[in-house]
A and B are shown apart, each in its own frame.
Chain A
């Protein structure tokens, strides 16, 4: 980020060329930049059909907040609502979700309880003025063990584990909201646990259908990107909250700083996007990418796009993150 500022200021002084030279020498290139990775962008948002109607009795969402732009945030087309003929219990829906999820290390179960009735101050504080149906549910996502997050000074490995657990719980919450809606079981108004939580909010689109590649195609693509940017796969789980959400941990022998600098470009290739008409189409509903070297993990980036708008990053170097860090942070002198 501060290199950008360097460029901005140098440009003001008419010295962009000098700054540009500094950038390239600061970040050694990967070993195989000649490896070409095809863009494979998802279909443009202009190809999406109109956002369908979802019955609030089965798929309740809290209203837009006062002053909020009344636009549903879409990252993929949504399937039209078609209720199941046979009602399925919430427990069955949850059991099926966890059975297909693809990682049983952290999330143990999902417990349901009735949503707090919309009365008194709760109507405003919890439901943004809305009134969820009486059979609405709240889900608690239960993890298998105490999270290392509780450590006062988590190690890089603990930080990585914490991030995976929270990300997985966020994926599960969003998928559960869609599963309960599409099966016509009962509206899920909120979920929490494992360091994640969410409300069913109108701003987040229901039942999005992401244009995932096949698992084999994605594995080949990861291999290609790895050759280009100098990493190898340490572990790859193609989780399935509803569709594929890759959990990818890679190793590299490249200089840490240079690799961190390349992470946004790597993410662009792992989850290609298309943009049009002020909308962006993503390929996956979630993606987790972490990198380690012989000293252990040193950076991660993740996001979850189904039923939430959550994204995050971590770096072992508080002065060097893959993306811009917003808000309070340790003051660092710029490098480069």
Chain B
């Protein structure tokens, strides 16, 4: 396999990729309303500020699976197939979503609501990409896990 495409950091994403290289998930947070948005945009999607002065704050990256797919044909270079992509709702903030690879392999038993924790893949020198691994399901908890509420203070 050849190299996977590497991200090219720009003025909006530099802190995200610098943190990722150190295996830290650091997301853009609006200085006006304190809400995370991913990816950062010119206008804060939460409070509408056109001057969100995003700072980047670490989040622990745990969350739960909302959906997944097993990719069996890659349209990009450098990916061995099959692999699993998961759509994860991060526990750091309600409806804060990240789509990444699940490193447990294509045969892992998955379900909506299954807990995941953050992992990183080192794909080049000083370049790491956020990914996920299955985490132990917390007990007790009959029925589906309740959706996490907005917890801006959850950043560690």
A-B interaction? no
